[in-house]
Structure 1
């Protein structure tokens, strides 16, 4: 039976919390601690890596506990609601370190509060993903649920990028780039905390009627956590998603660490231009999400995610390659903004399609496992994928952070003071992400599940 739009919207709104955290980390956190506060790239990368490893290790635990939870409020909702206040508080403190901290103090502050933020989001997000897999058993309705989640996530990212960057970091005579102004980061802290808390509470309240859907006491997990992991590793489709996520997450970690450095130093963009170009990705994501369901029906899910991974890898790196070869339109030319916007739109569409495809495919794998074993372990499946993604992204962050120090990239530097040779090295470092993205497409091709030829046999 199809879910109501109200239920899918309420569920989707919960994605805003995770997207706000992720977008804030990707855009602001590394840049803030290195270029505004002066923490070395190696220490910043190490801090983020430690937080991600902690986050990754706790993911399977959160999935395991929520799978086994029994409550009149359901398996997922108590965990989701319990995370709201800790997430908001630790997020605020992360971006408001006390003044005067030295390198050790900055490293400990970043490490400690990044760990706490990621721990709080794990407590919320792993059960949240498990809830999404339980809302429906229909093969194509799962794509619709994932699409609503994706749309709401785009809206959250839009609030952070299109409003946060130009509003909190306006251009001024005092700073060559608005993002170098430390006064904007406490605003990121308080606005993000409020937005995430509201997102969680609204999603929990809006899906309360579905809290106990999919709960069958006879099918709840009974195996230990390590036994669970050994059991699901035998599923070839799970392995394909697991390894594909590992590779693409290394790519994402490198890209996210260096993206703001590229915007400010390689492309020479102002904060207003960064927000404008961010619209390319944010417009592309909904396009990819809208394409997911018809592409899944026409070509199925595996070809969709493989094609999306290839396109995203190409779109995400070709502009840098062409600029290094002096073949890309100059930043001052009329063709520059449209060219960048087009590539960002294509990359965003491919990323949106890949995200929806991956989430829908994992729900199918979890259902296949439940049918074959009699064990409902949606939370554990999603947490295992999240685990590998975060471990791999941690490696990407560390590689990028150490790479910045190896190329001698200066800290707290205005764009005009950085040597062109160092900027070129920064660009070359960023291209390493493309290798991992291309490899992920090959791995996703090993996925085995297919669309049922008879609708009555749909999972």
Structure 2
């Protein structure tokens, strides 16, 4: 890969489709899983948060392991594709089982079921997703083309999220006379789990099949890499200032995300008192914002560079995501009957989506540049290890966020298995304040991103020098 490589659109599309599997998993966790086990099945918030935390910690530990193994893997099918293919079908089975606990199970049983199958789902996803991310960094060595690859992945992720929110909520959780909000109906969860299982497995197989023609062009594991102990890999990665910047920034953002994602559906159902149809409609604002942010990323990288783009996104995201909540708590937000109620929520969600699209696409592109510089400095092609190391800290921090949110629900005495009309104003206001605590961590990530030091000029110089050096080998 010594020359700049313009990838075919079909290759980038095939790669992007692979994001569908991870997005369905993460969106399913965020929208359905925690709410299902607490509000529908009656598991306490602390136990639910602890179960998700245990799964995330296990997941975080396995990420670097899979990345390390994938970096060292040698086969005629390359370093990444064998892991992607082997995970596809088992992931579907584990995902469906996660939503199928036995009837009349105890609190302890529910906790063990949630923790056990959440661990299994995340472990299998790791086998697929870490090599998949590394593959994205290896498809091209060009500064702007890497942003394009990340953008295709982001667009496919948005499409998957839209599928879950718009189709999943409307099709499987309609409101009825029996349930004020369709999400309280237990009959919808096995159906949405089955649909997700099938789509995830097919997306993985399609991505692996559509990128198989690139295998011969991808970097191989050199013999020297096979002799390096893990501690040397960790030390070499930590010695890279830009890697540390993304590592710490990801950690802070992940705590914020863990809190928000845990409480998101509770906020929609009880604080805003939205119906299932309204939740799906308003989610369009967030989903519309994502592709706008993704499309804006490349021109912003050309004008302001990647570092400034992610810093701005990290500032805007928490503000947009919480301004409506603060306004409602302050008594200045329109009432439910106002014609401005839904459009204002839609607007702030759209802005939040734009910021998220910018941040995720920028972060993926920046990490690809870090892996190139790491390869230049150390001679080691370790995309899997570096991507997984950042994912490690993100998941560990997100685990803390889930636990904090779950325990917070119990500390504020938030009721379970109740309709929205049965929850008091004091209880929903406490829920909103608990959600706002996530902003602190989101803003703090900006401080970490300031230390990132790879710009266009430095990346181009590294690319040329690396190509020249490898041409002599």
TM score, norm. by length of structure 2: 0.95
Kindly provide the CA deviation profile for residues 394-436 of structure 1, in whole angstroms up to 9, marking residues without a partner as x. 0000000000000000010111111111110000000011110
- Give the alignment of 1:148-167 within 5 angstroms: 148-167=152-171
Question: Contact conserved, 1:134 with 1:213, CA < 8 A, in 2?
Answer: no
- Give the alignment of 1:100-139 within 5 angstroms: 100-139=104-143
Equivalent-residue separation in structure 1 for 2:281 and 2:200 (angstroms): 24
Larger displacement relative to structure 2 (222-231 or 251-260) = 222-231
What does residue 233 of structure 1 align with?
A: 238
Which of 13, 32, 39 aligns to 2:36? It is 32
Kindly provide the CA deviation profile for residues 54-103 of structure 1, in whole angstroms up to 9, marking residues without a partner as x. 00000000000000000100100000111111110010000111101010
Instruction: Say whether residues 1:279 and 2:274 are aligned partners.
Output: no
Instruction: Say whether residues 1:418 and 2:420 are aligned partners.
Output: no
Kindly provide the CA deviation profile for residues 100-154 of structure 1, in whole angstroms up to 9, marking residues without a partner as x. 1010000000000000000010000000000000000001100000000000000
Residue segments in structure 2 that go unaligned for 5+ positions in a row: 465-473
Equivalent-residue separation in structure 2 for 1:242 and 1:457 (angstroms): 21
Which of 279, 290, 298 aligns to 2:295? It is 290
Which of 374, 395, 411 aligns to 1:390? It is 395
Which of 215, 219, 225 aligns to 1:221? It is 225
What does residue 188 of structure 2 align with?
A: 184
Equivalent-residue separation in structure 2 for 1:313 and 1:242 (angstroms): 19
Instruction: Say whether residues 1:96 and 2:100 are aligned partners.
Output: yes
Q: CA deviation at 1:337?
A: 1.0
Which of 438, 448, 453 aligns to 2:443? It is 438
What does residue 359 of structure 1 align with?
A: 364
Equivalent-residue separation in structure 1 for 2:325 and 2:12 (angstroms): 39
What does residue 265 of structure 2 align with?
A: 260
Question: Contact conserved, 1:370 with 1:376, CA < 8 A, in 2?
Answer: yes
Q: CA deviation at 1:231?
A: 1.4
Residue segments in structure 1 that go unaligned for 5+ positions in a row: none
Question: Contact conserved, 2:372 with 2:463, CA < 8 A, in 1?
Answer: no
What does residue 200 of structure 2 align with?
A: 196
What does residue 428 of structure 1 align with?
A: 433
- Give the alignment of 1:50-61 within 5 angstroms: 50-61=54-65
SS in 2 for 1:101: coil
Equivalent-residue separation in structure 1 for 2:27 and 2:173 (angstroms): 16
Equivalent-residue separation in structure 2 for 1:325 and 1:87 (angstroms): 45
Which of 340, 352, 360 aligns to 1:335? It is 340
Which of 384, 391, 405 aligns to 1:379? It is 384
SS in 1 for 2:7: coil
Call closer, same or farther: CA 1:101–1:74 in 2, change over 3 Å: same
SS in 2 for 1:140: helix
Equivalent-residue separation in structure 1 for 2:355 and 2:224 (angstroms): 36
Question: Contact conserved, 1:403 with 1:429, CA < 8 A, in 2?
Answer: yes
